Structure 1
Amino acid sequence: MLPAEIHTDGLVFIHGYWLFSGNCAGGVAVFELSKDTVSEIERERIQFFERASEPQKEGRYKIAYNPWHTTPLPENWTSVDSPNGACAGLKCAVGNAEIKKVIDAAWNNVGYYAVANRGGARLVVLPKLRRVVASYSAL
């Protein structure tokens, strides 16, 4: 799911949920960015993501992420009070402390985000926190 150029040092948090009656079906995974990836992003800024559009080869589907944008995130990505709820997967985990930290950082720090060309998966990269968030919705 992550572009090959985005290297991580492990999983920080994962949450998946299937509650169709509550209009919540999806998940979110938070990874720790590697120090080398953080250095590259800090040096190249959004240009880093020009080559970070395709994920590592996984399965038979090829998912591309572009265009990449700088934060802040669109309001409907982080507001559970908006008509569309929080973005893919985040709605299901919005009460978690790690997700709250990530959402706050996406509004107050320089970060980057993109949407996949299929399936609605979304990525948020926050170099200062050394975090990358991958979320999806099954609805």
Structure 2
Amino acid sequence: MSAARPDQARLDPTFLALPFRSLGETALARAAELGATHADFRFERVRYQSLAVRDGVLQDASDSEDLGFAVRVVHRGSWGFASGVVLTPEEARRVAETAVGVAEVAASMTAEPVVLAPEPVHDDVTWVSSYAVNPL
């Protein structure tokens, strides 16, 4: 077993168990097959907790989460974007196809093509929102 990367040591293991890497690979490969000159994949889980208190007494507590992914592309000189919440390879392909389709529609309305600034690829990067107290 390999050691966890430093950024992953801060992540909830239940998040790391989600299929975000395979979904990303599938979506990005499909976007490339369709001719996108740029594609990026984002996977996100946002967790919420709500507490209701009256006169110092807990009345209600609930936990919920939003889970999903998005594909953003540049195709034919225009941006395209789509998102999904079903975590399957078929849905990852469909979302990539939708993003490319949106870019194709936008291309007919884009007077000046999108030109990306030179920026190194940030492959396999993890961002964690800052917090003062570990919420996990």
TM-score (norm 2): 0.31
Greater Rg over alpha carbons, structure: 2
